[in-house]
Structure 1
Amino acid sequence: MNSEEGLYLKKWIWLVITIVIAASVGGYAYARHSQNEKLYSDAMDRASLQISNKRYIAAETAYTNALKRKPNDEKATRLLSQTQNFMAANDLFNQRQFAGAKNSYQSVVATKNGNETLKGRANDRLKLVKTIQSNLKRYNKLYSQALNETGEGNYAQSNSTLDKILSDTAIKQTYYKTIYNKAKQLQTKNNAALNGTAATSSSSDFESSTSNSSTQNTPNVAPSSSASLTSSEQKAADAYKGSNEYTVNPKQNEIDGQSITAAQVNTARHEISAAGIDSNAMSDQDVKNIIKGAHNNNESVGQYVKEKY
């Protein structure tokens, strides 16, 4: 073999080596891309399943994981936003802030190419909110009329007006708790006046007294900061061994690298209460621990607290 043939052979060998290396690198890149696509697809499917199961916090986490695989992905971003809007709407609804809830549910419905299950549930809630607001408007109008009649000394007529509220089939639903209590209190005042067991007073006096009573009897309201603790209460406070946001490492409040949000805490509190546990007795950190524990066990918050508390 002369030198020219040897040089030619070497060129062919290097060409083959180059082709093999390029194929290997390309194959690795393709395999990695395929794996990333699968992880993204799995996260999106998992989010959809969690929404079907009404596990919205888990769905939120799944969409966040999908975005880790495809940062700024339009579909995952859109569905994550829609899910968070639905969770926020539920929080407002449970707090009986119906006007705000209505706006958030409308945002869910208006999401183009959004999750259809969320849209359907938001539409159902919008119908319910419309009914609630209509009833509240009617109840408040009747209550104002009854209050004026009481102020004029027409106690029997006031009771007759109140009966239109108190006999309504919907009035005992939790959405109408405030107006129901006010109507019952006014009815009690009217009955006392009719029976001659209480001195009459103006409607403005009654409104003031019911307002004060409502404040005093509202459960789970923290006492004024100016109130002092007894020695036994102070001892109990000093002995508190629970956790709060100041006693833990911030990373303990993360799920898959994402900090647990205030919206997640609020939603979890409702789930905890629905499970029969007093969430008001828990700090935000306690709730975050429950959220993380439920996530780690692949359970809903409600399931988790029923097992652990």
Structure 2
Amino acid sequence: MKKWIWTIVAVVIIAVIGGVTFTSHHITQKAYTAAMTTGRQAVSKENYSIAESAFQDALRHRTNDQQAQGHLTQTQNFVSAQSAMSDHEFSTAKSDYTKVKNAKSGSSMLRNRAKTALKLLKTVQLKAETFQDVYDQALTQNQGQSYEASNATLDRIFKDAAAKQSYYTNIYNHAVDLRSANNKAIKHGGDGTSDPSSSTPNSASSSADSSSANASSDSSSSSRTTGLTNSEKQAAKNYKGSNEFTVKKSQTEINGKAITAAQIASARKTLSAINVPAGSFSDQDIRTGLIAANKAGISFKAYAQKTYK
């Protein structure tokens, strides 16, 4: 008799435990499903912060769930890509959008949005590079004191309706500043003399640099070794390359104006920016490059990329 009683008790206990387990699993599954549904709906409405929270909630109900984790990671990458796009960090945006597009698990809606964004990004990058090249050319012309020509080059930016889009804010503002500097120089000189109270955007020059450069350009090639020691004169005479002591006056000028120390310093920065060792070039090598770029009607950056890389 007692044996039957214990059997019944055991069956009841097992049934109760099984029922509790089943109920708990059912509740967990229901909460997980609800969280995933909320996340997907939020993605559809582009409420990505809500979507992230919902997918995180789903993971709390079902730890290490690949579907929930896939949706969460994909959403986070998409948000990161959008933020990078707004900050004009195009390479980062491209990387994150690509991760969203290639996600093996996640939202097909986000994958399609990423594909569309990548197409836009390609267009934006090409346009940004074009604007940058135009600006670099205009800056070189400004540094050569060809202010009207610089303004004419900048018009290629200002006449492009896309230039005022948020993606190009930085380069557009630089172009506005350069045009302002050009106009001041034209107003105060009229003959290409820069305004002494203003400075060229993205370059810096001192009166000492300017005086030194002008003094150098006003002397003839035969008098460039004045003030040198005998050994220095001999070294300049024996030098087979080009430097300030072995060239004609015309080889140190752009449009009749001396190439300044500030222009040379700016050109060296450009070389470093494109991973060309600037230290391997003498000042005269830099002048020669600036003159060649000006004659070709292109920026020094474009000339350097074509010639030195």
Report the TM-score range of the alignment, normalised by the length of the smaller protein: 0.5 to 0.7
In structure 2, the residue matched to 1:214 is none
Q: Which runs of 5+ in 2 are unaligned?
A: 205-309
> Which among 194, 201, 218 is matched to residue 200 of structure 1?
194
Q: Distance in 2 between matches of 1:89 and 1:153?
A: 41
- 1: CA distance, partners of 2:62 / 2:202: 58
TM-score normalised by the chain length of structure 2: 0.60
Please name the residue that 2:28 is paired with: 36
**How many residues matched?**
201
Pairing of 1:206-245 with structure 2 (within 5 A)? 206-208=200-202
2:56 maps to 1:67? no
1:118 and 2:100 aligned: no
2:18 match: 26
Tell me, what secondary structure is at the counterpart of 2:25? helix
1:262-273 → structure 2 map (5 Å cutoff): none
Distance between the aligned counterparts of 2:189 and 2:116, measured in 1? Answer: 48
User: Which stretch shows the higher mean deviation, 149-158 or 189-198?
Assistant: 189-198
Residues 195/201 of structure 1: CA separation in 2 closer, same or farther (3 Å cut): closer
Q: Deviations over 1:159-214 (max 9, x none)?
A: 22111111001001111111111111222222333344674179xx513469xxxx
The yes-or-no answer on 1:95 pairing with 2:102 is no
Aligned residue in 2 for 1:188: 180
1:173 to 165, 170, 173: 165
> 1: CA distance between counterparts of 2:202 and 2:57?
53
Identity %: 37
Q: Which residue of 2 aligns with 1:14?
A: 6
Question: Does structure 1 residue 107 correspond to structure 2 residue 104?
Answer: no
4+ residue stretches of structure 1 with deviation over 6 A?
none
**Residue identity matched to 1:25:** I
Specify the code of the residue in structure 2 equivalent to 1:193: A
Give the letter for the 1:59 counterpart: A
TM-score, reference length from structure 1: 0.60
Q: Is the CA contact 1:151–1:201 (under 8 Å) kept in the aligned structure 2?
A: no
Q: Distance in 1 between matches of 2:87 and 2:41?
A: 27
The more displaced of 153-162 and 100-109 is: 153-162
- What's the offset of the Cα at 1:151? 2.3
In 1, Cα distance between the equivalents of 2:183 and 2:5? Answer: 107
Q: Which of the pair has more CA radius of gyration?
A: 2
Secondary structure of the 2:194 match is coil
- Residue identity matched to 1:39: A
Which of 69, 80, 84 lines up with 1:77 in the alignment?
69
